[in-house]
Structure 1
Amino acid sequence: MRLPTPTLPRRTSRPPSGRADGAEPDGMLDDAPEWARVIVYALLAAFVPASLVVTLVFAAWLASTASSVPAGTAITTGLLGWLFAHGVPLNLGRGSLGLIPWLLTLLPLLSVRWSAQRLLAPQAAQRHRARPTDWVRGDVLVSAVGFCMTYALVAFLVGTLARLPGASVQPALAALCAFVVALLGVAWAGAQLFGGHLDRVIPRVVDAWYDYVPAWLRRAVAPSLRGVIVLLGVGALALVVVTALSVDRVASLYGDLAPGWVGGAVLTIGQLLYLPTGAAWVLSVIVGPGFSAGGPAVGVGYAHGGALPLVPAFGLLPDPGPLPDLFRLVLLVPVAVGFYVGWVAVRRGARLSAWRQRLVSVVAACLLTGLLTTAVFALASGGLGSERLDRLGPAVLPAGAALTGELLLGGLLAALVTGLRVNRLPRRRAARKPRAASGNTVGSDSTDTPPDTTAAAGSRASEAGSLGARTSSGPKTSGPKTAGAKTAGAKSAGARRPGAKASGTRTGRAPKRRTTGPS
């Protein structure tokens, strides 16, 4: 006798608190209160880049054996450098250091993005939607604002406490710049976490984007961003070429400074952090108006000399005097970029749209590209502390206006070329129709239509029928031959007409013979 197996209840694992999907927690802070997580992640986002900058400055202080500066001053300088990475200008007594190394800004921005991703991960795991009347989902808004405010508070405290006799910052401005960097990092993290479901997090923002922003302006955003990236790439490539042509001059400046191994490494890293700024300066020369570095200035056709600080990067400036006439051909580069922007703007819309719509899309994309690049020129300008070097960088408004005009010229050429292509499409289609019709007529007369075998098959069937009628009155021994003849005739007719059946017969069988009874 077989005993029944008892059924035991299944044990269900309880999901950890704060996680809606039952996944394993990412760290010890997943079970902590939300306010604690906000504070800890904000402090962590500020501590990591600040410690890296302080370590770099402290290493340079250790390498300078002849320096009498105490270690506390080096640490304070590193903290001021961390604020400087957020775009906060340094007050140096006689002037201000406002030429920001924007490549260094990636350090706090990446740290903020990493911390914000860990902070918003539980909210991203939850599937519920925000109410349609909300601009931002409530829990995401509370966490994001708390994180940005805490980060800005840390910057305010550092700006208040980190002061030197010859260098300081404004605490309120430090808090504002840190809040902007934190907001950008949180937006970056949120776009990665909620990228496919933004309507669940910011429903009214998404609706406002499609309801109030015109379609031609929405279509111009992506081409303009591509255009800015291409322009900065062109400037960076030109900067690399100029550096390769001026290696000897830069090396001689390094020899005059004699910074040593560690000091030379720190000096090189500091100059590399200004790579986006240098690319913007070179781009302003390609555009036409150029830039000024205190006394010296460089344009598309000239180079003025003057006194400069002993920085190896300034060895890239050309010798004073007029530049070759062939150098003016670089003005075609922004026109080519404008052609690319206009081409992308037209391709994003309907190919067969009206010429006015194509023209509006191209003009909007080129204007937006010029506006964004003008903002880049403004961010690449600033001072280096002294009164003589209080303004360095591109001529913002002239360079922006010249670039916008060149982009519009290239964009209009792209609109003209695409318009000609669109106008040729109906002509090609109209030319193809007569060719297709004539081709069908010739084919039907020659080989396309099979020959008509119906009459021949009918005549053969009638001959076979008459032959059967004549043999029906003969001897009975000729009956099978006559039937076979009829069947063969039907098969031959069927072979000439595939799929057709002979009238009065069944396929594969002989027709029935009519017999007469006794009189």
Structure 2
Amino acid sequence: MSQLSRSRTALATSRARSAAIRAGALAATGTLAIVVLPALVGWLAAPVGTLGWFSAVQVGAAIWFSGHGQSIGGSGVTVSLTPLLLFLLFVYVAGRWARRLIANERAVVATSEWSQVAQRGVVPGFLVGYVGAGAVFSLLTLGAPVAPGVAAVAGTLWVPLLALGHLLVRPTDPEAPGFVRAWFLRGPSWLPFAWRAGWRGAAMLFLLGLVLVVLAVLVSAPDVLRIHEDYGLNLLEGAVIVLLQVMLLGNAATWALAFLAGPGFSVAIDSVISPAAAEPGLMPLVPILGALPEEADYPPILFIVLVVPIAAGAFIGRWLDRDVEFFGNVRARLWATATAAALAVAVVGVLTGLGNGSVGSERLAAVGPSVAPMVGALLLEVCGGALAWSAWCVWRQRAETVTDSSSESVLHAEDLAESAESAESAESADADVAAPQEPADEAGQPSGEGSDIARP
């Protein structure tokens, strides 16, 4: 690279870094507005109290840190449970800002410069801008009723990292930065496709859990509404409570996945809900918890729900089989399938661990499924389903190969038989032409001793 090219690349990197810092700060501000505005609405809707509007802003800032996977606490109570849908919403908002930033910078730099500009300008700049804004937001929580922990500012890196990773770590995209493609080139050729299939599988598993939760809430709607009405809230207060519960639907989705996997989950100490039995115990008065089943022992047939994660694994195997041609390499096919399934389960496990935590003390000190048993069961089921699909594909291809070989053998034998018949017919024709004929008499009969007609 010439000195002029280096100077141009360095200038483009510096410009991109400055733009990325601004974009990161704006993305963090946008996510803060998502929680501060409802907090202000709740303050306006609440009866007249001693807390001012700035206290509502402080509470909103604390919830912002909670949405980034950080613990918040006050008055001896610690809340470490992360609202997963709020967390994913933050990732989406940050991703929108990052997408615009990447599109703008990609349009003004040369293809040969893009990898370095992205690696040294866009990525660090966006992270610095986002975390820097988080450091400013932490000042709002000083003296607040609830406040984040000491390491909360650094913990906000979760959101911008996932947003950038979703946009840049795409090894099958020809416009991905060179350093991303170089990471995957060090591995087997199927790794980029297994990476994509694994993330799609994680999204599918999460959506399956979310669908199950929504169905449970709809079925138990009367119980949920009755608990909600017991609060005696006005319209604005009720809207804020509903919004908070919607943000917790993602956590409930991981609970549903733990139920489908077999180990089940707990909402309070000494409670468990699994395909074997339901022992919810004494539940807090949260309307959405009205969808939980009552205490009961379930028949063994209910363990049929384990078919759902197995079927999800089969879909992962199908996606991978559709995207990659293994050319008969069974070992590579099985490794790729197992890697994609394990990645999907790992992502779900991280989300589950992030969504677990405490929402108070005593009975609510540990809410959510136990991560290790859940991940272990899901790994066996999802990998089993994916590998079963791959094994079926291998058997089908081999059966088709044997069938094709048999058909070719039959056709070849028929061709040989036809060739033999053609040769035999040709030999017979040649023999007829070469055989001498006996002379005939005047009556047209052949002469000889064997004639039946006597001569006159």
Give TM-score, length-normalised by structure 2.
Answer: 0.79
- Is 1:224 paired with 2:183? no
1:167-182 equivalence runs, <5 A: 167-171=146-150, 173-182=151-160
- Is 1:184 paired with 2:162? yes
Residue aligned with 2:381, SS: helix
1:143-162 equivalence runs, <5 A: 143-162=122-141
Distance 2:196 2:166 in 1: 17
RMSD over aligned CA atoms reads 3.3
- Give CA-to-partner distance per residue, 1:39-71, whole Å, 9 cap, x none: 543432233332342221111111122443222
* Amino acid corresponding to residue 92 of structure 2 in structure 1: L
Distance 1:300 1:141 in 2: 50
* 1:69 aligned partner: 51
* 1:142 aligned partner: 121
* 1:360 aligned partner: 335
Residue aligned with 2:282, SS: coil
Contact residue 95 and residue 163 of structure 2 kept, 8 A: yes
- Give CA-to-partner distance per residue, 1:147-193, whole Å, 9 cap, x none: 3213212211221332345311125x23213333223334445579x
* 2:6 aligned partner: none
- Give CA-to-partner distance per residue, 1:436-485, whole Å, 9 cap, x none: 45776899999xxxxxxxxxxxxxxxxxxxxxxxxxxxxxxxxxxxxxxx
Which structure shows the higher helix fraction? 2
* Amino acid corresponding to residue 104 of structure 1 in structure 2: L
* 1:126 aligned partner: 108
Q: 1:251 to 1:191 in 2, by over 3 A?
A: same
Give TM-score, length-normalised by structure 1.
Answer: 0.71
- Is 1:335 paired with 2:310? yes
- Give CA-to-partner distance per residue, 1:314-340, whole Å, 9 cap, x none: 111111121233322111222222233
Q: 1:168 to 1:187 in 2, by over 3 A?
A: same
Distance 2:48 2:366 in 1: 32
Q: 1:49 to 1:349 in 2, by over 3 A?
A: closer
* 1:58 aligned partner: 40
1:370-385 equivalence runs, <5 A: 370-385=345-360
* 1:320 aligned partner: 295
Distance 1:227 1:313 in 2: 27
* 2:80 aligned partner: 98
Contact residue 61 and residue 67 of structure 1 kept, 8 A: no
Contact residue 73 and residue 164 of structure 1 kept, 8 A: no
Q: 1:74 to 1:300 in 2, by over 3 A?
A: same
Q: 1:233 to 1:146 in 2, by over 3 A?
A: closer
* 2:29 aligned partner: 47
Q: 1:195 to 1:305 in 2, by over 3 A?
A: closer
* 1:239 aligned partner: 213
Distance 2:220 2:263 in 1: 22
Distance 1:33 1:219 in 2: 34
Residue aligned with 1:196, SS: coil
Distance 1:238 1:309 in 2: 21
> Which structure has the greater CA radius of gyration?
1
Distance 1:432 1:291 in 2: 55
**Deviation at residue 278 of structure 1 after TM alignment:** 1.0
Contact residue 342 and residue 411 of structure 1 kept, 8 A: yes
Relative contact order (C-alpha < 8 Å, sep 6+): which is higher? 2
Q: 1:398 to 1:110 in 2, by over 3 A?
A: closer
Unpaired runs of at least 5, structure 2: 1-8, 422-456
* 1:248 aligned partner: 222
Distance 2:262 2:228 in 1: 31
* Amino acid corresponding to residue 125 of structure 1 in structure 2: A
Contact residue 184 and residue 191 of structure 2 kept, 8 A: no
Identity rate, percent: 25
The correspondence for 2:256, drawn from 271, 282, 286, is 282
Distance 2:22 2:190 in 1: 44
Q: 1:332 to 1:74 in 2, by over 3 A?
A: same
Unpaired runs of at least 5, structure 1: 1-19, 21-31, 447-519
* 1:388 aligned partner: 363
**Deviation at residue 379 of structure 1 after TM alignment:** 1.9
1:195-234 equivalence runs, <5 A: 196-198=174-176, 201=177, 203-211=178-186, 213-215=187-189, 217-234=191-208
Paired positions, count? 411
- Give CA-to-partner distance per residue, 1:189-220, whole Å, 9 cap, x none: 5579x95322xx4x344223212x23454443
Residue aligned with 2:266, SS: strand
**Deviation at residue 37 of structure 1 after TM alignment:** 4.2
**Deviation at residue 106 of structure 1 after TM alignment:** 3.8
* Amino acid corresponding to residue 201 of structure 2 in structure 1: G
* 1:268 aligned partner: 242
Contact residue 301 and residue 323 of structure 1 kept, 8 A: yes
1:480-491 equivalence runs, <5 A: none
Q: 1:368 to 1:326 in 2, by over 3 A?
A: same
Residue aligned with 1:91, SS: strand
- Is 1:425 paired with 2:400? yes
Distance 1:438 1:160 in 2: 87
Distance 1:357 1:143 in 2: 35
**Deviation at residue 268 of structure 1 after TM alignment:** 0.9
Q: 1:412 to 1:67 in 2, by over 3 A?
A: same
**Deviation at residue 362 of structure 1 after TM alignment:** 3.0
Higher mean displacement: 148-157 or 340-349: 340-349
* 1:401 aligned partner: 376
Q: 1:38 to 1:343 in 2, by over 3 A?
A: closer
Higher mean displacement: 121-130 or 67-76: 121-130
Q: 1:234 to 1:297 in 2, by over 3 A?
A: same
Distance 1:140 1:364 in 2: 27
The correspondence for 1:414, drawn from 385, 389, 397, is 389
Residue aligned with 1:303, SS: strand
* 1:470 aligned partner: none
* 1:111 aligned partner: 93
Distance 1:34 1:425 in 2: 55
Distance 1:185 1:384 in 2: 27
* Amino acid corresponding to residue 68 of structure 1 in structure 2: T
**Deviation at residue 346 of structure 1 after TM alignment:** 4.1
Contact residue 123 and residue 140 of structure 1 kept, 8 A: no
* Amino acid corresponding to residue 160 of structure 1 in structure 2: L
Q: 1:251 to 1:395 in 2, by over 3 A?
A: same
Q: 1:267 to 1:115 in 2, by over 3 A?
A: same
